[in-house]
Structure 1
Amino acid sequence: MTYANTDKFYINGEWVDPLSSTPLDVINPATEETFATLSMGTSADVDRAVAAAKEAYKTWGRTSREERLAVMERVLEVYKRRHDEFALAISTEMGAPISMAKEEQAAVGVSHLEAMIEALKAFELEKTMPNGDTLMRGPIGVCGMITPWNWPINQIVLKVAPALAAGCTMVLKPSEMTPISAILYAEVLDEAGVPAGVFNLVHGFGPDVGSALSRHPDVTMMSFTGSYRGGTAVSVDSAPYVKRVALELGGKSPNLIFADADLESAVENGIGYVMGNTGQSCDAPSRMLVEASVYDKAVELAKAVTEEVEVGNPVEEGEHIGPLASEAHWNKVQSMIQMGIDEGATLVTGGTGKPEGFETGYFVKPTIFVNVTNDMRIAREEIFGPVVVIIPFTDEEDAIAIANDTDYGLSSHIYSGDSERVLRVARRLEAGMVNVNGNYIEAGSPFGGYKQSGVGREGGVLGLEEFLEAKAVSAF
């Protein structure tokens, strides 16, 4: 399939040629073949896009809640109609199996937008405070957005939807690895009648276009999802302008399995959450912490479950996992697996190299390590692949200590049959999300984390608040 507009940017409601550009091949990670050629922009293209957003803000920033809701409802309608196009694009550009792309990757473009529509309907944009003064909330202004490749539409919608809801205008720089889904989303916004200049799309590399956005004096907020290194770069570039910066970064999330849990279900769910999306999820519970009395049994179960995980072609329907998203990322994951072996962890299943029968494509073996201590690099660094490390703990205190002994704090999981323990442990975990007994937080709940996992939250009411400024008006 061929895609339109890969050589253009969407600025001020039109598909325009870059002022000057460098071509970049977009690679299908399952075939290692080029399927599109992208034009990469420069700071001059950013200047043009920001100028369009700044001009559009003069009117969009003054629209009513009802006007913005009407636009968002039309976006939702158009997106639903084109849902399968997004699934195919995501599957092609980053390797998600087509079933997963339809049911999860593309589907969140609906659920997150629906949740933001409900959040805007219920949000008090003006209210009287107990002291008699009035609290007003309004849009922060022109927003720069940088999104990653692993959940491309998920992260685009989690930024674009609240910006639209708040009355902000925006410039998006998506990952150069997954540009097609961003192009399709620009087409959806255009078809839905989002006014010219409210949403703008410029492709480019982080050090060029991303940095130009962060440094631009007319951009009042930056919203970034990606690596810790990228997040610090955005923060540094934004600092001279004292602009708001929202960061959703990495994780090394713990999965606490207590002896009173349904062990088979806990292990199966835990492995499944990591293997899904081929391990390329920032909130994957890649550290499985298991109470010592059931540790050996959990290892047996984990080995059996992991060896049943199928690797397959993304174009085929089914529950298999696909390739990693790029050759560079495949090399990184391979080096981390080898590091685990070198550190002395025990490889239970998987390992380095490609699975048999998948010599072409960036496929990787589902991998389990045991006899892991929390000071090993494979237990501390984000691998971002289908790799699980299993660590024993002695009691509740030990479990919490190990779980919190990390630079990250994005997500966590608890499995226990004791509801009081679940709440007790959840209160002490240094993580932005706690998922219990296989249940995952719903769309509209805040997504984000503690420590080096980021600043701020996405989704629902808290995600909307990120794009709003507060104003106090005295009683009169």
Structure 2
Amino acid sequence: MSQHDLTLIVGKNAPRDEINRVRHLIDGAWTDGNGEVFERHSPAHGTPVSLISKGNANDASDAIAAARCAFERGVWSDLSGKERATLLLKVADLIDENRPRIARLEVLESGKPISQALGEIEGAADIWRYAASLARTLHGDSHNSLGRDMLGIVLKEPIGVVSIITPWNFPFLIASQKIPFALAAGCTCVVKPSELTPSTTAILGELLIEAGLPAGVVNIVNGFGDPVGSVLTTDPRVDMVSFTGSTAVGKTIEKAAGDTLKKVSSELGGKNPQVLFADADLDSAIDAIVFGIYFNAGECCNSGSRIIVHEDILDEVISRVVSLSQKVPFGDPLDPETKVGAIIHDGHQQKINGYVREAVAAGAKIEIGGAPIQIDGLPGAFYGPTVVSGLTPDMPIASEEVFGPVLSVLTFRTMDEVISLVNDASYGLSAGVWSENIHTCLEFARRAQAGTVWTNTWMDGFPELPFGGVKESGQGRELGRYGLEEFLEVKTVQMRIGRTRANWI
């Protein structure tokens, strides 16, 4: 892997980094696989960033074989929790040491702001440390209340070989929400990063080798869903698939994995509401709304992409959201002052704009934005801060995941009405409520169908707390002790002490 200029101080010109070479990691060795390559260009600057080995079905199969062999040999699963934790902690330290390098490549491939990328890498290291603590505290149960001659033991064992498929919007962070928990459980892995943002996963592979992870425990295959992702979800040597991405792809994976009855844990889309009651603290709520929709350019499953506002405060909320939106620094993602960077690619920008244009044609009102913008002459895809009001719940922009910096505004009058608006959506990833009345917040939290409910805040996150959705937002959980449990199988052992059982015949 090439070394890079780590300076984060840049001018208006496109970056002049070397093109980063990204290879597969299979059985502890970096390989070009079949020899085919493809290129990734910066979505903000238009310059080439990475030259990536393009995996095929044979490369994926080889990686699965390496993971299967490593698991069966017990080179990782047979280690003690202390030994696993020690290595995970080494990886966390190495992530900290390499943070500028990882963050810069993440910016160049994804278009996100450098300040955000640096924060995400720091958060990822914290997750690895938390996973290490779980490795030390993993245990089963015993039951000594089954009679004086019986002892019941419940063992928790690694599920086996896990295929991990990660998206382009948070490539390093989401990999770090999966891999360390799988490793803490004793599993082996085959990882397929998004073809748009593979470089930081490759760096993670380097750090795992440097930390001393045995060959074959974590393998990385670059490429596209067809054929690499298809092999990783259908091969009978794989015991589990952990996937983060769109609901449409998640459904395809569920169907493909069904033929071999392998476990699937999925974190999918969201159309997450922030509900503002009439007594909301608007100073805090407005800031959280603007953060919730423009963070990562809205390319975030947890984006607060719709607000449902009590009619009594609607005009004030819209006015203040628009005013604050005008102050958000959109710009060159390598500029430390930038808060919102580029859209991942032109095709996705066109999709975002299509939702807005369709809403306008149906009678919606654009309060601000509603079109692509130019940033300092950069050739990349940038979409302006956008707020759309006058919506009805059946409009696609109000019910479907736009995945861009576009805020949909709906209204309500009663708790029953807003709960209906929240729960009628096909998604159920997260929701938020703003009210100074604790009873209002608790009632909303109990009734909202969502994996996470924030009260008087938005998008706080901690490694200790589980994350995941209901309905078409996926199944299973990441982070917290529940995130470790996903990678474990439960085995019951029943032991008779002494020869006290009466013969059946």
Same topology, TM > 0.5: yes
- Measured against aligned partners, the alpha-carbon deviations of 1:103-144 in whole angstroms (never above 9, x if no partner) come to 2x2222112212222333333234437655211100000111
Cα offset, 1:176, TM superposition: 0.5
1:95 to 1:4, Cα distance in 2 relative to 1, 3 A = closer
CA contact (8 A) 2:95 2:121 kept: no
1:216 match: 235
Mapped pair 1:74 → 2:94: no
Task: Using the TM superposition, give the Cα deviation of residue 395 of structure 1 relative to its aligned residue in structure 2, in angstroms.
Answer: 1.3
Partner of residue 3, structure 2:
none
Give the aligned partner of residue 353 of structure 1: 372
Q: 2:116 aligns with which of 70, 94, 100?
A: 100
Q: SS state of the match for residue 241, structure 1?
A: coil
Name the counterpart of 1:11.
26
Q: Which amino acid aligns with 2:484?
A: L
Question: Is it true that 1:457 corresponds to 2:473 in the alignment?
Answer: no
Indicate the SS of the match to 1:157: helix
Q: Which residue of 2 aligns with 1:304?
A: 323
CA distance in 1, matches of 2:270, 2:90: 35
Give the superposition deviation at 1:358.
4.7
Deviation digits for residues 168-195 of structure 1 (CA, Å, limit 9, x no counterpart) = 0010000000011111111111111111
Residue 26 of structure 1 corresponds to: 40
Give the whole-Å Cα distance in 2 for the aligned partners of 1:85 and 1:356: 25
Structure 2 residue runs of 5 or longer lacking an equivalent are 1-16, 497-505
How is 1:357-436 mapped onto 2 (pairs within 5 angstroms)?
A: 357-358=376-377, 360-436=379-455
Q: How far apart, in 1, do the equivalents of 2:136 and 2:231 lie?
A: 34
Name the counterpart of 1:52.
66
Q: Which residue of 2 aligns with 1:175?
A: 194
Alignment of 1:242-391 (within 5 A): 242-355=261-374, 357-358=376-377, 360-391=379-410
**Alpha-carbon distance in structure 2 between the residues aligned to 1:129 and 1:298:** 60
Show the 5 A alignment for 1:458-473.
458-473=478-493
Pairwise CA distance, 1:377 = 0.4
Q: In 2, are the aligned partners of 1:249 and 1:454 still within 8 Å (CA)?
A: yes
In the TM superposition, residue 5 of structure 1 has moved relative to its aligned partner by 4.2
- Closer, same or farther in 2 for the Cα pair 1:416/1:91, shift >3 Å? same
CA positional deviation for 1:355: 4.1
Looking at structure 1, the residues matched to 412 and 192 of structure 2 have their Cα atoms a distance apart, in angstroms, of 43
1:53–1:438 CA distance, 2 compared to 1 (3 A): same
Partner AA of 2:105 in structure 1: A
1:327-379: CA deviation from partner (whole Å, max 9, x where unpaired)? 22112112112122122111000012324645611111110001111111001
Contact 1:98 1:317 in 2 (8 A): yes
- How far apart, in 2, do the equivalents of 1:238 and 1:231 lie? 10
SS at 2:465 equivalent: coil
Between the aligned partners of 1:314 and 1:381, the Cα distance in structure 2 is 27
Normalised by the size of structure 2, how large is the TM-score? 0.91
Unpaired segments ≥5 residues, structure 1: none
Counterpart CA distance in 1 for 2:278 and 2:135 is: 43
Aligned to 1:35: 49
RMSD: 1.5
CA distance in 2: counterparts of 1:150 and 1:158, whole angstroms: 14
Secondary structure at 1:133 match in 2:
strand
Asked if the contact 1:134/1:474 (under 8 Å) is kept, the reply is: yes
For 2:7, the equivalent position in structure 1 comes to: none
The superposition leaves residues 286-312 of structure 1 with CA deviations (integer Å, 9 ceiling, x where unpaired) of 110111111111111111111112211
Helix, strand or coil at the partner of 2:214: coil
Question: What are the superposed Cα offsets for residues 224-269 of structure 1, whole Å, 9 maximum, x if unpaired?
Answer: 1101111111111111110000111000001011111111321221
Percent identity of equivalent pairs: 34
Letter aligned with residue 128 of structure 1: H
Cα offsets for 1:41-89 (capped at 9, x unmatched): 1110011111111111121222211111111111111111111111111
**CA distance in 2: counterparts of 1:4 and 1:337, whole angstroms:** 36
The amino acid of 1:154's aligned partner reads L
1:4 CA drift (Å)? 5.2
Distance 2:144 2:85 in 1: 26
Task: Check conservation: 2:84, 2:135, Cα contact below 8 A.
Answer: no
Mapped to 2, the partners of 1:205 and 1:157 lie a distance apart of 21
Shift of 1:155: 1.1
2:159 & 2:360 partners in 1: Cα distance? 49
Q: CA deviation at 1:319?
A: 4.4
C-alpha separation in 2, matches of 1:130 and 1:292: 58
The aligned amino acid for 1:450 is V
**Contact kept? 1:264, 1:301, Cα under 8 Å:** no
| 8 Å CA contact 1:5, 1:183 repeated in 2 | no
Offset at residue 320 of structure 1 (A): 2.4
Counterpart CA distance in 2 for 1:129 and 1:206 is 49
107-116 vs 404-413, greater mean Cα deviation: 107-116
Q: Which amino acid aligns with 2:470?
A: Y
1:441 to 453, 461, 470: 461
Change (3 A) 1:433 1:155: same
CA–CA separation in structure 2 for the residues paired with 1:269 and 1:72: 34
Compute the displacement of 1:413 (Å): 1.0
Aligned-partner Cα distance in 1 for 2:310–2:338: 30
2:143 to 128, 131, 137: 128
SS of residue paired to 1:304: helix
CA contact (8 A) 2:21 2:51 kept: no
User: Which one is further off, 131-140 or 213-222?
Assistant: 131-140
- Contact 2:242/2:265 (8 A) holds in 1: yes
1:26 Cα deviation (Å)? 0.5
| Distance (Å, rounded) in 2 between the aligned partners of 1:3 and 1:136 | 48
Contact 2:86 2:132 in 1 (8 A): no
- If you compute each CA radius of gyration, which structure gives the higher value, 1 or 2? 2
